[in-house]
Amino acid sequence: MEVVKLNSSNFEEEVLKCEKKVLVDFYADWCGPCKMMSPVIDEIAKTESDKIKVCKLNVDEASDIAGEYGVMSIPTLIFFENGNVVDTVVGLTSKSDILFRI
């Protein structure tokens, strides 16, 4: 499964109303650590799609949502379940750490 690109108009439908656990990668195009994290996120989207839906949200394009979830540093990974935040990781992390949290 491919990574779902989020914005202010599809966030509720894609994340909050999703039946599966959802991982949202809050990032920006200019962010070096975000670029380093991106291949890991893409790989998880392909290999773990049976367990989790993987999404990306550009904080420059949807700053309202980033603010709503208190994203102050990027990359920030937020895990949602049944529309609720269940876990958060700020900064670079390993694939194994993300898989552990799924």
- Choose, from 6, 34, 55, 98, the residue flagged as catalytic: 34
18 is catalytic: no
**Structure tokens that stand for 51 in this block:** 């367990």
- Please state the separation of Cα 28 from the chain's center in Å: 12
31 is catalytic: yes
- Choose, from 6, 22, 31, 59, the residue flagged as catalytic: 31
Burial 23-32 (b: 16+ CB within 10 A, else e): bbbbbeeebe
CB 57 within 8 A of CB 23: no
Active site residues: 31, 34
